[in-house]
Structure 1
Amino acid sequence: MRYIILVSHGEFASGLKNATSMLIGSQKNLLCTGMLDGMGADSFVENFRSLIKAITQEDQIVLLADLAEGSPMTNALNTLSECGLMGNVIAIAGMNLPMVVTAAMLDEDLLDKEAVAQAILEEAHNQLRTMQLDIGEDDEI
């Protein structure tokens, strides 16, 4: 099974999970946890360990985080390593909603880590753009 795990500062990860569920329905393989205001690393790691308890070495993990070198990402990677799960981990920072939706909708048979990462990043990049607005003086916003 492919698990998508969202980690972030604050409630960003849970907000993305909620928004993803609104768009494509609830996904049993979409997990999340956040480092809440005032929470120490030990509490975050405890929550993360509980989150990944059912994951085995045969499973693939797409770990999406808000910041590349933030505490949630580094603590999650350290915990995955301690649990012997790093062999099938794809870790991507700078997560956004298109990234999460794409990860959740990817064909489960696509196992190549490079192809999975490329598909997720490609869609995230495609959604980053400046919107050109032609608004006249009489137009309402």
Structure 2
Amino acid sequence: MKYLLLVSHGEFSKGLKNSLSMFAADKIDDVIAVGLKKGESVDQLADRFAKQLDALDKNADFLVLGDMIGGSPLTTICNVLAQHGLLETATILGGMNFPMVLNAIMLKDSLNGDNLVETVLNEAKSALKEFKPRIAGDEDDDEEEI
């Protein structure tokens, strides 16, 4: 089974999982959200995540989305995956946002490797733009009217 593993500082990953359940409730059991709690050490996070891993299939695959590449939570989770022999088959992406998470859950079982990475990252990037609302009566048709 391939899991979508959301990793963050604080409760960000849990909030994303909660929002994701509104769009992909039928796939939410494939999502694991883990965050480094305020005041928690990385060792405590590692222990907590290792216990979660022990309850999963030993042949599980992971698509890991982290809030920050190089951050303590993602680094810690990667270390635990390595200790369990699961890092080599994991795909790890950083800079997580909601469009990225939504695409990841929808595509994780149908795309693999570079195709999955490219599609998920492109969606995350394309979602980043300025929103310029148009006040009713403005002339520019390229902006959303409010």
User: TM-score, structure 1 length as denominator?
Assistant: 0.88
Superposition map of 1:90-109 within 5 A: 90-106=91-107, 108-109=109-110
* Alignment partners' CA distance in 2, 1:93 and 1:107: 16
* Alignment partners' CA distance in 1, 2:98 and 2:86: 25
Which string of whole-angstrom CA distances, capped at 9 and with x for unpartnered residues, describes residues 54-77 of structure 1?
Answer: 1433x3211111111111010011
- Percent of paired sites with the same residue: 33
Superposition map of 1:1-141 within 5 A: 1-25=1-25, 27-53=28-54, 54-57=56-59, 59-106=60-107, 108-110=109-111, 112-135=112-135
| Structure ID, larger Rg | 2
User: TM-score, structure 2 length as denominator?
Assistant: 0.86
Which string of whole-angstrom CA distances, capped at 9 and with x for unpartnered residues, describes residues 84-115 of structure 1?
Answer: 001211111110111111111115142x3211
* Alignment partners' CA distance in 2, 1:108 and 1:18: 21
Counterpart residue type for residue 66 of structure 2 = A
Comparing 32-41 with 122-131, which one deviates more in the overlay?
Answer: 122-131
Counterpart residue type for residue 124 of structure 2 = A
Which string of whole-angstrom CA distances, capped at 9 and with x for unpartnered residues, describes residues 9-58 of structure 1?
Answer: 1100000000000122151110011101100111100111122221433x
Q: Is the 8 A contact 2:2 2:108 kept in 1?
A: no
Give the gaps of 5 or more residues in structure 1: none
Once superposed, which parts of structure 1, at least 4 consecutive aligned residues long, lie more than 6 Å away? none
* Alignment partners' CA distance in 2, 1:89 and 1:12: 21
Length, aligned pairs only:
137
